[in-house]
Amino acid sequence: MHVEAIKMRRFRFIALLAASFIGVLAALQVDHRLHPSSSNSIPTGSLSQLEPVPVDYTIPASPSGVDFRVAARKVLPSVVSVDRFERQIVMGYYEDRQIERETGTGSGVIMSDDGLIVTNNHVVNGADRVRVRTNDKRSFEATVVGADPTYDIAVLRINATNIKPIETGDSDKVEVGQWAVAVGNPLGYSGTVSVGVVSSLGRSLRANDEMEGSESYLVGAIQTDAAINPGNSGGALTDTDGRLIGINSAIASTSGGSIGIGFAIPVNRVRRIVSDIVKYSHPRDAVLGVHIDPRDDGRLQLANFREYLKRYTNNAEPPTTGLLVRAVNDVGPAQKVGLQPADVLLEIDGNALAESIDLRKALADKRPGDSVKLKVWSKGATKEISLTLGEAASH
């Protein structure tokens, strides 16, 4: 009887051990099925809580919450490719013949639904024929309405319907660090969008290689690191809402391509120039009526002429910075207020004048008839003068 009891206890122990082993196996099977890559234990609760979480496959916005697709969709239909053609004489064995060649390509921006387009002057300068290709693959012959070579703007017109003018912003409200979207035709790749930020404001620089031999200046320009390459000239620089803030015009480069330093003409100046060209058939640039050496670095010129100025002004010490007046127009604003050769322009509207390009910058967004305040050193004395700006001769 005692032996039978021992056998019964052994049987129960083995059965209990087997049941525990089966339970562990079952648990391992469940764990493997629900969490194939997990080493964690089975969560407590019902199996319904272990169902896989649905995955959202929508494209996320950028980390800042900005989606550049909004700007791209709005801007692309408003940006065009601009092709320049020139007629050339080719010498033949029996006779010379004239052919037409494409000599350049750039970009443009549709400004109105009646076919007005803005681009850079250097894109169409010297053209015998200009062709515009829209984003929807249509092609149009364009007429050059007018141009402002000084500030590198040209206005074209095409006879087209179903075109989309761009929405314009306010370049006076642009801030360093905000997103910037460049749209254009770089290297012939039409409809190209690149993204960066506004790197700096108020940049002023002399003509780049594309503008050599002209009087073009970029003054008060918007600097961006959005990729701009040859062919982007005349294209759009916008904010993330697709509003035009500038016309892409030039790059600083060691390679001929983008290194992240591009420049755009502020849209507020573009609007002024376009309005004048459409209304008057030519730009209306404001002038003082004096001649300043366009290469003038004020400190260098004043140093060179220091002894002359001292003799001319009874040995008065001339300033060390400012712009030396070389000549005064016979008729014009400067002559009316008594400015004379050997006067030195120190400030305009409170802005110091250290180089000739500073004067360009100060006048770039002024109109003929606007009034400015000058600080001038004349015959040994410093004085302030109010002057009403005149109009530059038509280009």
User: Which residues carry out catalysis?
Assistant: 122, 152, 233
CA distances from 386 to 152, 294, 337 (A): 29, 23, 8
Name the pairing type of β-strands 139-148 and 153-157. antiparallel
CA-wise closest residue to 162 among 129, 136, 186, 184: 136
Dihedral angle of Cα 34, 39, 44, 47, to the nearest 10 degrees: 0
CA distance 250 to 42: 63
- Name the token pair of 343: 């006067």
- Burial label for 273, CB within 10 Å (0-12, 13-18, 19+), is buried
CA distance 2 to 212: 117
Question: E strands along 239-350, which residues?
Answer: 243-251, 262-266, 286-287, 290-291, 323-324, 327-328, 344-348
Partner residues linked to 117 by β-bridges: 110, 156
- Which residues have a Cβ under 8 Å from the Cβ of 58 and sit 6 or more positions away? none
Q: Helix or strand or coil: residue 14?
A: helix
Angle at 254 (CA atoms; ends 248, 259), nearest 5 degrees: 50
- Give the helix ranges, DSSP H, for 121-177: 121-124
- Which residues have a Cβ under 8 Å from the Cβ of 38 and sit 6 or more positions away? 31
CA distance 377 to 320: 11
CA-wise closest residue to 345 among 330, 370, 366, 326: 326
Q: Helix or strand or coil: residue 312?
A: helix
Question: Residue 88 in contact with residue 215, Cβ under 8 Å?
Answer: no
CA distance 339 to 362: 18
